[in-house]
Structure 1
Amino acid sequence: MSATELTRVSEPAERAADTEPVARPTFLDRIRSEWTVRRVGGVLAPAIIYLGIRELSLLVLTWMSAVTDVSMVDKLRSWDGWWFYYIAAAGYGNVPSTLRDANGDYSSATPMAFFPGYPTAARWLAGIDGPGGIGVLTAAFTVTIVSGVLCAYGLARLGRQIRGGSRRVGLVLVALFAASPMAIVLSMAYSEAMFCALAVWSLVGVLERRWVLAGVCCGLAGLVRPTAAALVLAVGLAVLVAVVTRRDGWRPWVGGVLAPVGLIGYLAWVGAQLGAWNAWFTVQQNGWNSGFDGGVATWDFAVEVLTGVRREAYEFATIGLIIVALVLAVICVVRRVEWPLLVYGIGVLTMDLASSGLMNSKIRLMVPAFTLLIPIAINLAKRRTSTMVLTLCGLAVASAWFGAYAITAWSYAI
């Protein structure tokens, strides 16, 4: 047989081999290749870091509760937690008169000092399974935990979007927030976790120019805490800049309209119920002696602590942490943190320090000012991993002890 004939005989065999079907990867094969252990860990990292630090705090609280002979569950729903619980369970009109304001008084208007977003979410969750569902208290704690995790993912994303940010910065920011001095409130039946979750995602919307997201989250935050005024200011100014510079079409307009709806809506509702436009502020002033005084009460408190008139460890810590917060605000300005984040953080701090009321709550009210932690997060992220981890672990332990001390050994409201 000639060479030509051999070639002709082999050609069909080669073509047949070329056309044989190649085994395609199955769906499970693709899942295995895409969702490696490392990638799954990366996706879960914000939740793992946040929940790990919060669990450490609860373990220390368990120990402190045993030492001081108090119920840990009762402490986690104490003070404002009781108000939220009864509002969720029975509504504003059925809160028992055994609950008292800071002056030991009660009226039908007193519960209106507490915004409806958090107790409403707890009531809805408790009612999912009908009368025999999970219960209002369990629902309230669930809302707190889920909100904290959502906030962690928002902080991780925010850390990637800021100037000098990265995935590492975002995760450090999550850890710093979870280990902030009064982060115990993020495990209580309080509204801080829910508010912070909405606030951070609103700020993410601003940085990413997703104006509808920013407006919706800001509007909902206005139903959760009065601190939303600082968020409305930050989002509103960012919207104004976008409108003036004619960016992003109609979306900034929608975001700007939605942003103040929750806050203004609730204040208007209280005003309509009580017959005065400033009724909510009156309830706050009469019940908790809380009002804007430009910082006079805070200054007087600081003088009393620093001159020895007050000698409690918690009060010394309050002044120390106020000073730290003010220093961080200055550093944020110097480091040129994105101005909407700066407006929000300084706004929260100003609302806290420039108002009268319970001085013991000053540290807790600074928890939502998480944007002031950004310079620390950026700086820590640049350090060696061992240095970063040891620092964060130390802060987590200190936060766990301080939070447990604040709601067990400390005798007053936080």
Structure 2
Amino acid sequence: MSATVASRRPGRSSRRRARTGADARLVVQAWFGTRLVILVVAAWVMLRDHRSASGVFGNWDVAHYLGIAANGYAEANSIAFFPGWPLLVRLVSSTGVPPLGAAIALALAASGLATAALYRLGGAPAAIAWLLAPTAVFTVVPYTEAVFCAAAFWAWERASAKQWGAAAVLAAVAASVRVSGVFLIAALAVLALTQAGAPRVRGRRLLWLAVPVSVVAAYLGYLYVITGSWTAWLDAQEAGWARGFAWPWESLRHTLSVLEPGAYADHPEWHWVFLAEIISMAVGLVVTLVCLVRRRWGEATWVGLQVVAFGTSYWFMSVNRAVLLWFPLWTELGRIPASRGRLPAWRAVLIGVLVLAALAVQAVWSWLFFTGRWAS
């Protein structure tokens, strides 16, 4: 009997390795395929409208990031953007690479790293679901989403593996890139306290988080030195992007006003983009509740704090982009297609249809950004 069992083990091990290799190849293919769709849309817009690469990839906040990389915080309200991403772009472009090209290359590379982290956290389905996200264009253009997700996802993966030193350094990178790093620190603190271990061990985990906290504190201190105000970042957000405080019901009412007939008739795409913002908020609430039910306190903190922040702003804005940061959403979605053996034909067809639909929505969202329309 023991000989029979022993003889079977290599076969099972080989099949497991083959399945893992096939999953990894599928994720790599999904990364290339989704990046290709987005870049094809960009090329199509450039050819159709006779626009340059900077005119297609340089819309909206890209101009702010590249401006900070070149000139520092010289423009009004530019302090609303954390310095990590512009500094990284400046570092790479100092080698002679054009800043826009350097930023796109960095975003592409970072999206690959984020995909790898999600693969570790939730398997191939989770990583592929993230790659198919409607707003994935923001992981290709020079925005902070790709590099933040790469640092934050790997920080969570390392913390989950109880490698808190590495997690702290990665969280510090994330915190240098965007204010969402504050929510990541809070979520990691909850994870540190709820992860198994003696009180002394939990205390050491929390001490590691002083590393990313110091990054946020350093930036706030810098803003105080140049402005004389501890609320300079919040003031810039309110002055430049109407992100002042509002009660949740007021925020919802302001968002719904965009959907009223005749509202913003000169920007017809605003109606369905802001409708998507409401849907994204609902998704965030559902994910938070699911994490609470599953007693995944850290993940619930991570998504829940962002939902609260967006829900107390003037209106729901940029939630569609923030969905990219919610790794618990993608790991939960990754559970849906999971099954052993071959998929039934109807299920395989359904997944294929959903993938094609996701790519179509992704292409439309890319078209919004590349043509300079509001894309969240």
Of 154, 157, 175, the match for 1:222: 175
The answer to whether residue 34 in structure 2 is matched with residue 53 in structure 1 is: yes
Partner of 2:67: 86
SS at match of 1:78: coil
Of 110, 117, 122, the match for 2:89: 122
> 1:327/1:124 Cα in 2 relative to 1: closer, same or farther (>3 Å)?
closer
The 2-side partners of 1:257 and 1:409 are apart by 40
Aligned AA for 1:376? L
> Per-residue deviation at 1:251?
4.5
SS at match of 1:190: coil
> 1:385/1:247 Cα in 2 relative to 1: closer, same or farther (>3 Å)?
farther
Q: Residue by residue, what CA displacement relative to the aligned partner does 1:5-52 show, whole Å, maximum 9, x if unpaired?
A: xxxxxxxxxxxxxxxxxxxxxxxxxxxx9xx99876655543432232
TM-score by structure 1 length? 0.75
> 1:265/1:244 Cα in 2 relative to 1: closer, same or farther (>3 Å)?
farther
Matches within 5 A, 1:14-413: 43-93=24-74, 107=76, 110-127=77-94, 129=95, 133-159=96-122, 170-242=123-195, 245-246=198-199, 248=201, 251-296=204-249, 298-310=251-263, 312-327=268-283, 329-331=285-287, 333-334=289-290, 336=294, 338-356=296-314, 361-382=318-339, 384-408=347-371, 410=373, 412=374
The 1-side partners of 2:206 and 2:196 are apart by 7
Aligned AA for 1:349? V
> 1:79/1:372 Cα in 2 relative to 1: closer, same or farther (>3 Å)?
same
Answer whether contact 1:348 1:366 (CA < 8 A) is retained.
Answer: no
> Per-residue deviation at 1:118?
0.7
SS at match of 1:291: coil
> Per-residue deviation at 1:373?
3.0
> 1:141/1:371 Cα in 2 relative to 1: closer, same or farther (>3 Å)?
same
Aligned AA for 2:83? P
SS at match of 2:325: coil
SS at match of 1:367: helix
The 2-side partners of 1:332 and 1:275 are apart by 37
- Over the aligned positions, Cα root-mean-square deviation in angstroms equals 2.9
Partner of 1:29: none
TM-score by structure 2 length? 0.82
Q: Residue by residue, what CA displacement relative to the aligned partner does 1:330-362 show, whole Å, maximum 9, x if unpaired?
A: 2552362732122212222332332227x5534
> Per-residue deviation at 1:120?
0.8
> Per-residue deviation at 1:53?
0.8
The 2-side partners of 1:343 and 1:249 are apart by 18
Q: Taking every aligned residue pair, what percent have the same amino acid on both sides?
A: 24
Q: Residue by residue, what CA displacement relative to the aligned partner does 1:271-307 show, whole Å, maximum 9, x if unpaired?
A: 2221111121112222222233233553123322444
Q: Residue by residue, what CA displacement relative to the aligned partner does 1:219-239 show, whole Å, maximum 9, x if unpaired?
A: 221110011121111011222
> 1:336/1:141 Cα in 2 relative to 1: closer, same or farther (>3 Å)?
same
> 1:181/1:39 Cα in 2 relative to 1: closer, same or farther (>3 Å)?
closer
The 2-side partners of 1:409 and 1:286 are apart by 22
The 1-side partners of 2:144 and 2:365 are apart by 20
> 1:42/1:175 Cα in 2 relative to 1: closer, same or farther (>3 Å)?
closer
> 1:263/1:281 Cα in 2 relative to 1: closer, same or farther (>3 Å)?
same
Give the unaligned 5+ runs of structure 2. Answer: 1-13
- Greater CA drift, 215-224 or 298-307: 298-307
The 2-side partners of 1:77 and 1:150 are apart by 23
Q: Which has the larger radius of gyration?
A: 1
Aligned AA for 2:149? C
The 2-side partners of 1:252 and 1:82 are apart by 38
- Greater CA drift, 239-248 or 396-405: 239-248
The 1-side partners of 2:375 and 2:36 are apart by 23
The 1-side partners of 2:154 and 2:48 are apart by 39
Answer whether contact 1:242 1:252 (CA < 8 A) is retained.
Answer: no
Answer whether contact 1:61 1:400 (CA < 8 A) is retained.
Answer: no
> Per-residue deviation at 1:82?
1.0
Partner of 1:30: none
Answer whether contact 2:111 2:147 (CA < 8 A) is retained.
Answer: yes
The 2-side partners of 1:178 and 1:351 are apart by 25
Q: Quick check: which one's helix share is greater? A: 2
The 2-side partners of 1:308 and 1:65 are apart by 33
> 1:247/1:401 Cα in 2 relative to 1: closer, same or farther (>3 Å)?
farther
The 2-side partners of 1:395 and 1:144 are apart by 21
Q: Residue by residue, what CA displacement relative to the aligned partner does 1:219-278 show, whole Å, maximum 9, x if unpaired?
A: 221110011121111011222345984264774144222232222221221122211111
SS at match of 1:92: coil
